[in-house]
Each structure stands twice: as structure tokens, then as C-alpha cells.
Chains A and B, each alone.
Chain A
Amino acid sequence: MLRYAATRLVAGVPTLVLVSVFIFSLIHITPGDPAILLAGDNATPAQVEAIRARLKLDLPLWQQFGLWFLDALRLDLGSSVYSGKPVTELIMQRIEPTLVLGLTTILLTILIAIPLGAYAAWRVNTFVDRLAMGFAVIGFSVPVFVIGYVLLYVFAVKWRLFPVQGYKPLSEGMFAALHSVTLPATALALVFAALIARVTRAAVLDVLGENYIRTTRAKGLSAPRILFIHALKSAGVPVVTVVGIGFATLIGGVVVTESVFNIPGIGRLTVDAITRRDYPVIQGVILFFSAALILINLLVDLTYALIDPRVRG
């Protein structure tokens, strides 16, 4: 198992290197001179040159990449051109709200999606099944910012149960923090849960035809026991795969949701950096999210090996 984990970890390294090449070229190949942009309209040529030298934009492209990459290996992602603070520090300052939001979302998603999908499969082709799957199609069709505003209107503006915007840090207490992320996490979870409920239903449906499930029915086990103990164990692999794929969507969703609900997380940092053309921050944040995604996919692969011994061999 450990050996398998190590091989997978090593296989992630070239991907990460390629990703950093992409992110770097993305910003440096697209038209427009960052130095002129940053200097503003009234800058003298000397000021533009100074900015260019400070950002090392006067070096050949491959040298710029080499310098940036070596620094990134030391976790130095450069400094924001806007605030002058190191990008790593900016990310660390903003990581808490994003993590709380993300973890709450995943928890909510699993609580909604797995039972819903499994139950729809159990009652396949009935009204309940159609209702659940109808909800699923709606869930991933309505954009997360639309769901976000619907929830805001009903629960924050009309009923005043939740704050309209903002985030309470964990230092103000667990409850305050969870209360402040309930609406955004629900908006995100509805989208994510729709996807996972569909796959859970399909996977459980495949398994329910198997002989060993008939045996459990013959033994007279209860529906929840058959579904959650026996069926979901085999149906787990496709479900875990989609949870993994869904993370990419989730990261995109976090960026949007943080903007809608005004949560000062990494998503907001990204949007702010993009509107200000703060190149080092844009590069750093995209690299951070991509590394997180690669790490999550690694965990997903390891989970396969954990639930399906055949993968290890």
C-alpha cells in the first residue's frame, strides 16, 4: 500500500511541472505588456523600465520561468504588485474561510447525495426515483451564483436567519463560523450533490442485480443495511471517481461563491488579483489550486486502492 502511494506521488510531480509551465506561459504569451499596464497611463518610459526590471520582465522568457520555478519550489511565489506582500503569505491569510467553506460543502454533499442516490436506485423507475433525478438535473443546471442568490433572498433577506454576507473566523467560535458559511456551503453542495447523486444511483443500480445482493434480501436484511453496508461498498469506486472529478468543479464554485457571499477566502483573492492584473498573485493562486487538485486526485487514487484491493496489484 505504501509502495503504491509512493509511486502515485512521484507520478504527480511531472504533472505539476507541466502545470507550472502552462500557468507561466499563460500570462507571458498572452498579448499586452504587464509593465505598461501596471505603470498606468501617465508613467514615463523610465518608470516602465523600472517596473520591468523589478519584475525581471527584461530577462529572456526561459530564464524568467527558471527563476519563478526555482522560487516556487522554495514556496516563494513572488510578491503582489498591488500590496507588495508575498503571495504565499496572502494565500495563508485567506486559507481559513476557503477551507471551512470547502469542508462544510463536502460534508453536506455526502450527507445529501449518497442516501439520495442509493435510495433512488432502490426505488428505481418509481416516482421517488424520478423526483430525485429531476432534482439532480436541476441541481447541476442552475448555476451556483443563481442558487446562491435564491438562498440569500429567502433565508437572509426575507427570513433573516443567516447573515447576508461576510465570514466569521473560527476564532469567534465554531458555531459563528459554521453559521456564516451555511448558505454558501448549501449553494455549492446542491450543485455538487446533484452530480454525485446521479453517479451513486447508477453505480448502486449496477450492483443491485448481483447475486450477493439477492442473498442479503433473502436473508431478510433491512433496506438501509443492504444499501449502505453491502451495495455501497462495491458501488464505491465510481462514486469516489466522481467525487474526485467534482473537486475541479468545486474549486471553480468556491471562487464564485466567495464573490457572491463576500467571503474573504482564496477565491476572492483570485478574483481581486485578476481584476487588478496582479500577475504574481494570479500565477501563485492558480498554481496553488492546481497543486491542491493534484493532491486530491492522489488521495482519490489511494482511496480506490483502499476499497478495491485489485487496484493495488
Chain B
Amino acid sequence: MIAEPAAPPPANCPRRRHATMEALASALREPWTLLCLLLLAGFLFVAFFAGMVAGDPLAINPAQRLKPPSAQFPWGTDHLGRDVFARAMHGTRMSLAVGASVALLSAIPGVAIGIFAAMSRLGGALVMRIIDAMMAIPAVLLAVALAALLQPGLTTIIIAITIPEIPRMVRLVRAVVLSVRQQPYVDAAIASGTRGPTLVFRHILPNTLAPVIVQGTYAAASAIIAAALLSFLGVGTPPDLPNWGGMMADARRYFQQDPMLMAYPGMLLSVLVLITNILGDRLSDALDPRKSTRKI
């Protein structure tokens, strides 16, 4: 990567934001990042227009059971004669919906609780005990149990995956806020009489954003895996919602004769998680100034 000669920052633009934008722009020039973004755009396109690129994912046709690929069914049919290609394309929707929702829904309470835990001494200690206890329950088990106990549906899956994700976000935000509080500019703000909400919203919250965005990306990736896992184990997913984990669960019985039934959804799932994780890594490199200098 060739370092661009840095343009002098415009007088009215704060230096820090300029450096962040510069780092993001240079990350964008890397071919791998671009490829990942393009692939992600492809997944988004498929999710929005699944109905147009593929046929009906729910139509059952017992006469056409377990058929090999044909012009009508590009990826063949499953044990109920359903169109595997259509199911796989429509399955993109659930994965993306769960990934995005979990990232967002775990970030909001995570940031709020994390800042509280770092700013309040007594309340903070209490909150962290509860967070520690929550983290002692293996996340997958907690998600599986929650999904099994609530009414099956997309909301249930999102709730079941978000709840175990929140403690991680809280810990991260708390650690960031604790270190930001040590910075001279926070001392200066306090010394000049800044208190309460102004201190938090003007000086502390903006500094938590970069790590929260990175963690949110990783959270989305692990949420996509978790959602597939719940459907694979058969908990929480309604039968009329085509999704990759459920397709893999259906394919188990026919795995030895027809491994492609398992491979299509498995491959899409792995690629989506992979590009999300790579984008998370790139974001983390671009947003963390310490990392980018250490790299050289």
C-alpha cells in the first residue's frame, strides 16, 4: 500500500476526524476490502430481491423429490421437492436481518450500561458482578435455551442471540471509557466545569464509537453463525422462514447420497461470515491509530 502524501487539514475540520476518514479511505483502496464489500453488496441485493432472482422457496412438490440440478431448479430440489436455489437465496434474508439487528441491539444497551459501569463507582461494581455472572453462562447454551423457551419467530431468534452478546459489549465499552477518563482532555473538561450529560455525550461517547463499530461487526458475524446454529438444532425458527441452518438440518438425513444439499447453504453461510469478519478486521485496523502505526 502506497502512503498518500497527507493534505493539510482544512482549518475548520478537526484533525482527528480527518485522520479517521483518511484511514478508512486507504482501507477502501485495498483489493481484498473492495472484494469483500462487493460480495456483501451482492448478499444485500439477493436479500432484497430474492423474490425476483429465485422462485418460490416454500412450494412443495413431492413428485420432484431430491432431483439433481436442472434448468427449472438450478441447485436441484430437497426431500420435499422444494427449490434449493430459491431456499438458499431467500435464506440470505434471515442471516442478514439477524446479523444487523443483533449488532445494533447489543450495541445500544451495551454502550449505555458500559458507560454507566465506568462512570459510577458503586453501581458500576454491582453491574460488573451481574455481567460477570452472565458471561459465565456459555453464550450458545443461553441462546439455545432462550430460543427454545420463547415462541418461535424471527424476533425470538434475535432476542435469544442479543442477550448473551450484550455483556461482551458492556465489558468493551467500560474498558474504553475507563481509559478515556484518564486522558488529559477529560480532566481539562472536568476542570472547566463540564459535568454529567455534556461530559458523557461530548467527550466520552464519541471515543467509544470506533471500538463499538468494530465489535458490532464481529457481533454480526457471530450472530449469523448463532442464528444458523439455532435453526440447525431446530429451535426458535418457524418452518415457513427459509434459512441456511434449517436447510442444513433438513439435508442431514440425505448427507451421504446428496452432500450438495448441505454444501450450498454451508458455503453461503461461511462466505458471509468470512467477509463480515474480514471487514471487521479492516475496520479495526483503520479505526485504531495505534494499530496502523505499529504495523509499519
Residue from B136, B228, B259, B281 within 8 A of A143 (CB atoms)? B228
Residue from A27, A152, A256 within 8 A of B233 (CB atoms)? A256
Chain A binding site: helix, strand, loop or mixed by DSSP? helix
Q: Please, how many angstroms separate the alpha-carbon atoms of A15 and B132 in the complex?
A: 7
Additional A-B contacts beyond A142-B270, A248-B139, A286-B145 (4; CB < 8 A)? A16-B136, A138-B274, A146-B248, A149-B248
Please give, as numbers and ranges, the residues of chain B lying within 8 Å of A32 by CB-CB distance: 149
| Given A19-B136, A19-B137: A141 and B273 interface contact (C-beta under 8 Å) | yes
Task: Indicate if the CB atoms of A141 and B270 lie closer than 8 Å.
Answer: yes
List the 6 closest pairs (A to B, CB-CB), nearest first. Answer: A252-B140, A18-B133, A141-B274, A30-B149, A146-B266, A251-B138
Task: Indicate if the CB atoms of B141 and A22 lie closer than 8 Å.
Answer: no
Closest to B296 in A: A125
Please give, as numbers and ranges, the residues of chain B lying within 8 Å of A270 by CB-CB distance: 141, 144
Count of CB-CB pairs between chains A and B under 8 Å: 126
Task: Indicate if the CB atoms of A274 and B232 lie closer than 8 Å.
Answer: no
Residue from B134, B149, B225, B270 within 8 A of A27 (CB atoms)? B149
Task: Indicate if the CB atoms of B138 and A146 lie closer than 8 Å.
Answer: no
Minimum distance in angstroms from A154 CB to a CB of chain B:
10
List A27-62 residues whose CB lies under 8 Å from chain B.
Answer: 27, 30-32
State whether the Cβ of B262 lies closer than 8 Å to any Cβ in chain A: yes
Task: Indicate if the CB atoms of B134 and A275 lie closer than 8 Å.
Answer: no
Most A Cβ at <10 Å: residue of B133, B269, B276: B133
Q: Please, how many angstroms separate the alpha-carbon atoms of A16 and B269 in the complex?
A: 35
* 14 A-B pairs with C-beta separation under 8 A: A16-B136, A30-B146, A143-B229, A145-B248, A149-B255, A251-B141, A274-B235, A275-B148, A277-B148, A282-B145, A286-B137, A286-B141, A290-B137, A294-B136
Q: Please, how many angstroms separate the alpha-carbon atoms of A222 and B63 in the complex?
A: 68
Task: Indicate if the CB atoms of A252 and B262 lie closer than 8 Å.
Answer: no
Interface size on B, residues (CB 8 A): 42
Q: Please, how many angstroms separate the alpha-carbon atoms of A22 and B134 in the complex?
A: 8
Please give, as numbers and ranges, the residues of chain A lying within 8 Å of B273 by CB-CB distance: 141-143
Please give, as numbers and ranges, the residues of chain A lying within 8 Å of B149 by CB-CB distance: 26-27, 30, 32
B194-224 toward A: CB 8 Å interface, digit per residue (1/0)? 0000000000000000000000000001000
Minimum distance in angstroms from A138 CB to a CB of chain B:
6
Residue from B135, B233, B256 within 8 A of A248 (CB atoms)? B135
Task: Indicate if the CB atoms of A274 and B151 lie closer than 8 Å.
Answer: no
Residue from B137, B138, B150, B277 within 8 A of A22 (CB atoms)? B137
Task: Indicate if the CB atoms of A14 and B129 lie closer than 8 Å.
Answer: yes
Please give, as numbers and ranges, the residues of chain B lying within 8 Å of A140 by CB-CB distance: 277
Task: Indicate if the CB atoms of B133 and A19 lie closer than 8 Å.
Answer: yes
Task: Indicate if the CB atoms of A275 and B256 lie closer than 8 Å.
Answer: no
Task: Indicate if the CB atoms of B148 and A248 lie closer than 8 Å.
Answer: no
State whether the Cβ of A137 lies closer than 8 Å to any Cβ in chain B: yes
Task: Indicate if the CB atoms of A137 and B278 lie closer than 8 Å.
Answer: yes
Residue from B140, B146, B234 within 8 A of A251 (CB atoms)? B140
A277-290 toward B: CB 8 Å interface, digit per residue (1/0)? 10000100110011
Closest to A32 in B: B149
Task: Indicate if the CB atoms of A137 and B281 lie closer than 8 Å.
Answer: yes
Q: Please, how many angstroms separate the alpha-carbon atoms of A153 and B262 in the complex?
A: 10
Closest to B141 in A: A286
Please give, as numbers and ranges, the residues of chain B lying within 8 Å of A285 by CB-CB distance: 141
State whether the Cβ of A271 lies closer than 8 Å to any Cβ in chain B: yes
State whether the Cβ of B108 lies closer than 8 Å to any Cβ in chain A: no
Please give, as numbers and ranges, the residues of chain A lying within 8 Å of B229 by CB-CB distance: 143, 145, 256
Please give, as numbers and ranges, the residues of chain B lying within 8 Å of A251 by CB-CB distance: 138, 140-141
Task: Indicate if the CB atoms of A143 and B225 lie closer than 8 Å.
Answer: yes
Please give, as numbers and ranges, the residues of chain B lying within 8 Å of A164 by CB-CB distance: 256
Task: Indicate if the CB atoms of A293 and B138 lie closer than 8 Å.
Answer: yes
Residue from B132, B148, B266, B276 within 8 A of A149 (CB atoms)? B266
Please give, as numbers and ranges, the residues of chain B lying within 8 Å of A146 by CB-CB distance: 248, 266, 269-270
Q: Please, how many angstroms separate the alpha-carbon atoms of A66 and B7 in the complex?
A: 67
Minimum distance in angstroms from B135 CB to a CB of chain A:
7
Most A Cβ at <10 Å: residue of B129, B140, B256, B259: B140
